[in-house]
Structure 1
Amino acid sequence: MDTPSDTTDEDRTTHNACVIAGAGPAGLVLGLLLARAGIEVTVLEKHADFLRDFRGDTVHPSTLDLLDDLGLFETFDALPQSHLQRVRLPGSDDEGATLADFSRLTVRHPYIAMVPQWDLLALLADAAAREPSFTLLTEHEVTGVVRDGDRVVGVDYSAPHGTGRILADLTVACDGRWSVVRRDVGLPATEAAVDFDAWWYRVPTDSRVGGSLLPRMRDGRVLIAIPREGYLQVARLGRKGDDAALRARGLEALRAETAALLPEVADDVSGIDSLDAVKHLDVRIDRLRRWYAGGVLCIGDAAHAMSPVGGVGINLAVQDAVATARLLAPSLTDSAAPLEERVLARVQRRRALPTVLTQGMQRVVQRLIIMPGLNGREVTVPRLLSRVLKALPILSAVPAYIVGVGFRPERAPAWARRPGRSSSPATERAEWPPRTRLRA
């Protein structure tokens, strides 16, 4: 991670082919792919490191395949992690029903890997740093875009040493749902109604909970427990605007609630040692009606904020980044002309439909499962559906594919791939001749 030494303001204006705001999954995957095409790219991250109070920790099968294509899977696989293979819902009997079974997918890695996101981001950053055209600047917060007429030509930033500016042929917003770039450009958005929020916390435990995700619902309370190594990652769902009330009820009330819904870890809830460790996520679902303007493109949460349902936001953001690299890298190597809006529009045309379908799936789950549970209704798989799933368990591969692979999976461009244990020589052919960007 590079931090420039103290210089004059004039020296802090630089020029790249691409500048990316935000070093999350989308920003780092895009930066890595573009750098492997020899394109000069700088990623700005406002934090000093990747540690956050809350990060989505799900790495889905399609993202695992991407890491394999990039030659990074063996390094990733060595990280401490647990594997989630099934999603189950309460049924009319004690066993419940397996709604999604990832082990039935015909992919190289048929499971969801549960890995702290800071480990994934560090892996991506390390791989990108090996490319000579890649730069990551930490503690560099984007404060706004730079314009030349009606075209965005870069970003301004603030850093510990002062302020600066990076000019670029393309600015990509990967800075999340509260994107500074998105706000500054003023792109219009459509927002869907969301009536719940999420609170994330850990329950340290050595209890064997298994490799299934099973929502627990009782008396208007909803918990989702995700098995991890040495602890459960718990998502508590509640009504929007309930954060102050939750904290007013106090730590003991939260422990008692957790023990009631997760009796297998009732002896471990004392490990929830502070409400400060309970992180509130203001859940929202929205998407830009137009993802781009002259010289600027939004992807990931900056283009479409996702709810935590299914943990699919990371997967979708990574797929956005892969599509962006493949569609735009050839144009970014041509310094003769600025990137036209019609080229940027290709990204939205490719990624808009899977975004709409994924958000639609999340809204269906909200309407049929989450809100009835929060309203105190018993939510179970209907007896007939439960029997069908048990008689034809192959059907559980369909929702597993939607969640784990997505409506429109993206493959790494051949020019960005590196040999790995699942690679074959046939996949190493270049789709176009990447070349280092030349400037007059």
Structure 2
Amino acid sequence: MSNQTIETNCCIVGGGPAGMMLGLLLARAGVDVTVLEKHGDFLRDFRGDTIHPSTTEILSDLGMLDDFLALNPQRLPTLSVEFNGQEFVGPDFTALSTKCPFIAMIPQWDFLSLLESHASRHPNFRLRMNTEVVGLTQSSERVSGVVTKTDHGELKVNASLIIAADGRRSIVREASQLPMREFGVPIDVLWFRIGRPESNTAHLLGHIRNDNMMVTIDRGQYIQAGVLIPKGNFDAIRDQGLDAFRERIVGIVPDLRSQVHSIESWDQIKLLTVQINRLDKWHRPGLLCIGDAAHAMSPAGGVGINLAIQDAVATANLLSAKLVAGNVQNDDLQAVQRRRMWPTKVTQRMQVVAHRYLVGGRPRFGLEKVFRLLLWLGRPIIPGLAARMIGIGIRSERVTRND
């Protein structure tokens, strides 16, 4: 293949949660849809694992819930955090009126593969892997397609609508020159695998000790871990040496002392630059941004995946019939932004406040004192309210089109 051009009704750039969910929903509705993913597979450790009750409700709408639960995700009815060796229970999802009143933890590659398997049942759905978008094409001041590079040469994809779902470093968004609003975040995360401890603390999602914090995700055979660091401090931490970093880990979670020597190189540690930002305008004629391409979330609350999926559902609900009829207008794209902007703003505002006062390096009164005060003042209100805000979100979406 060399300099080939293909035509499709809707071209979705990015095979993450937003892109794959939207591709499935549009295909179910009869839209000819092509999803472009630059990688050759879904296997990337830095992708999130949390599937919230809002998303399992959508899977139920699609008749996919049993298939999802058959993947045997870890079920967390509450989110627990350890402070200096003492466990504190936070959000309690058991009181939610949902089919799955828990956070489901599952490697994202398994979740994306599930979406792909269901989408591929529709002949009007196509997924092209190893297809990297490098630019946009325009016709009469309207975005009309994308230019990609593949292992076999250049591929152009022309479409009635381009959906940018290619994440916080979106090439499509950059090429579209849509203005971005940035919100300062005082942390980054160092992300790595480490052996599973023999203790019973593997179920804990967070550990706070001496005003340092580490997130831990139990993946059965190992722990996926993230150490929070002040933004921009990675080079200084690396200059201190690997032994010092191992001791930093042990200082937060002493039970990991027997496991830290499995970290043998800085190559095993990935820097995740934490961002909170959003577009003021999510669209141009022929183009719509959703998910992280429209609004990057911090890892706080693990809500990013689920906000992206909510965007996908809202987009399908509002645009499917228009795409089938071939008459998507700019006002239709604006309707998607209007629907999803308010929950985006509220969620990001809560994240900014959380980072500023709770996990912004070394807060004035210390992480432990702040959390202890909140837990003391808020029981039993805070666990239930937090479960609602994290598990369901500000404005949940449900699938309104069922073939």
Q: TM-score, normalization: structure 1?
A: 0.86
**Partners of 1:23 and 1:84 in 2: how far apart?**
26
Q: What is the aligned-residue identity percentage?
A: 43
1:51 — aligned with what?
43
Once the two structures are TM-superposed, the CA of residue 178 in structure 1 deviates from its matched residue by: 1.1
2:369 — aligned with what?
380
Whether the aligned pair in 1 keeps the contact of 2:310 and 2:397 (CA below 8 Å) is yes
Once the two structures are TM-superposed, the CA of residue 396 in structure 1 deviates from its matched residue by: 1.1
1:267 — aligned with what?
258
Q: 1:355 aligns with which of 344, 363, 370?
A: 344
For 1:33-432, what aligned pairs fall within 5 Å after superposition?
A: 33-88=25-80, 95=86, 97-205=88-196, 206-209=198-201, 211-218=203-210, 220-335=211-326, 337=327, 339-371=328-360, 373=362, 377-381=366-370, 385-390=374-379, 392=380, 395-415=382-402
* Per-residue deviation, residues 366-397 of structure 1 (Å, max 9, x unmatched): 0111015377934334666434444x3x5411
Once the two structures are TM-superposed, the CA of residue 113 in structure 1 deviates from its matched residue by: 1.3
Corresponding residue SS for 2:258: helix
- Gaps (5+ residues) in structure 1? 1-5, 417-440
**Partners of 2:308 and 2:342 in 1: how far apart?**
14
Once the two structures are TM-superposed, the CA of residue 286 in structure 1 deviates from its matched residue by: 0.6
Corresponding residue SS for 1:379: helix
Whether the aligned pair in 2 keeps the contact of 1:90 and 1:379 (CA below 8 Å) is no
Once the two structures are TM-superposed, the CA of residue 188 in structure 1 deviates from its matched residue by: 0.8
Once the two structures are TM-superposed, the CA of residue 179 in structure 1 deviates from its matched residue by: 0.8
Once the two structures are TM-superposed, the CA of residue 238 in structure 1 deviates from its matched residue by: 0.7
**Partners of 1:403 and 1:383 in 2: how far apart?**
20
Whether the aligned pair in 2 keeps the contact of 1:156 and 1:166 (CA below 8 Å) is yes
Corresponding residue SS for 1:386: helix
Corresponding residue SS for 2:358: helix
The code of the aligned residue for 1:134 comes to F
Q: Report the structure number with the largest CA radius of gyration.
A: 1
* Per-residue deviation, residues 66-116 of structure 1 (Å, max 9, x unmatched): 12221222222222532233234567x975543311223221111111111
Whether the aligned pair in 2 keeps the contact of 1:97 and 1:381 (CA below 8 Å) is no
Once the two structures are TM-superposed, the CA of residue 257 in structure 1 deviates from its matched residue by: 1.4
**Partners of 1:189 and 1:17 in 2: how far apart?**
28
Q: TM-score, normalization: structure 2?
A: 0.94
Once the two structures are TM-superposed, the CA of residue 196 in structure 1 deviates from its matched residue by: 1.2
* Per-residue deviation, residues 290-341 of structure 1 (Å, max 9, x unmatched): 0001010000000001111111110100000000000000101113x4x210
Whether the aligned pair in 1 keeps the contact of 2:8 and 2:159 (CA below 8 Å) is yes
Corresponding residue SS for 1:232: strand
Corresponding residue SS for 2:281: coil
Whether the aligned pair in 2 keeps the contact of 1:23 and 1:174 (CA below 8 Å) is yes
The two structures, once aligned, show a CA RMSD in angstroms of: 2.1
The code of the aligned residue for 1:357 comes to V
Q: Structure 1 pair 296/378, CA: closer, same or farther in 2 (3 Å)?
A: closer
Whether the aligned pair in 2 keeps the contact of 1:222 and 1:374 (CA below 8 Å) is no
**Partners of 1:383 and 1:123 in 2: how far apart?**
40
Corresponding residue SS for 2:206: strand
Once the two structures are TM-superposed, the CA of residue 129 in structure 1 deviates from its matched residue by: 0.8
**Partners of 2:205 and 2:121 in 1: how far apart?**
37
* Per-residue deviation, residues 208-252 of structure 1 (Å, max 9, x unmatched): 22544333131x532122333233322111111112222222322
**Partners of 2:131 and 2:296 in 1: how far apart?**
23
- Gaps (5+ residues) in structure 2? none
Q: Structure 1 pair 295/317, CA: closer, same or farther in 2 (3 Å)?
A: same
**Partners of 1:303 and 1:234 in 2: how far apart?**
27
1:426 — aligned with what?
none
